[in-house]
Amino acid sequence: MGSAADLIMADPVDAARIVASDYPLGTFKGVSVDGLDPVTLAALHSLFVSAPFGEVLRDYQPVAAASPNGPWLIRLPSQLITFLGSIAPPDQTSVAVRWASVEAVAEAGWSSDDADQFLGRLVPFAQTAAFEGKDLFLWIYN
């Protein structure tokens, strides 16, 4: 699995502060999600909507960057946050199996266990973000 990344919970106006920070997890609520990237998130998102993967992927462009070479900050679409927050614990494993079977995710070498571990981090943050009226950002620094 590829990139070094963190999932950051913050207000949309905090994007510049996240990018300016040497260590966003020291300032904002978040969790390490090394291996998660915009392609795998868009693949998960595409499971929940009736839109082609390529259309969904367009929503995963950086909103800010520390430099042209990164790190990059990507705001997760609110629709994905809503869907993640609605995954009931008994359904998480079946969602993980479906996610791991998406071509882009399978090509990245993910197993359903990998997908389930990421969901275990994503779902609680999505629920908290929705409750607190915050956004979720993917901070990719490698």
Domain coordinates of the chain in residue numbers?
5-140
What is the torsion angle, in degrees rounded to the nearest 10, for the CA atoms of residue 19, residue 22, residue 28 and residue 33? 90
Residue 1 has pLDDT above 70, yes or no: no
Residue tagged 């909103």 (tokens): 63
- Model confidence, pTM: 0.93
Distance in angstroms (rounded) separating the CA atoms of residues 126 and 98:
19
Tens-place pLDDT, residues 55-90? 999 999 999 999 999 999 999 999 999 999 999 999
Architecture of domain 5-140: 3-Layer(aba) Sandwich (3.40)
Q: Which residue has the higher pLDDT, 3 or 75?
A: 75
Tens-place pLDDT, residues 6-47? 999 999 999 999 999 989 999 999 999 999 999 999 999 999
Strand partners, 137: 8, 75
Helices 92-101, 38-48: axis angle to 10 degrees equals 120
Q: What is the pLDDT of residue 136?
A: 97
Out of 1-5, 59-63, 75-79, 121-125, pick the least confident.
1-5
Q: Which residue has the higher pLDDT, 3 or 110?
A: 110
Cα separation values, 1 from 36, 60, 94, 107, Å: 8, 19, 21, 10
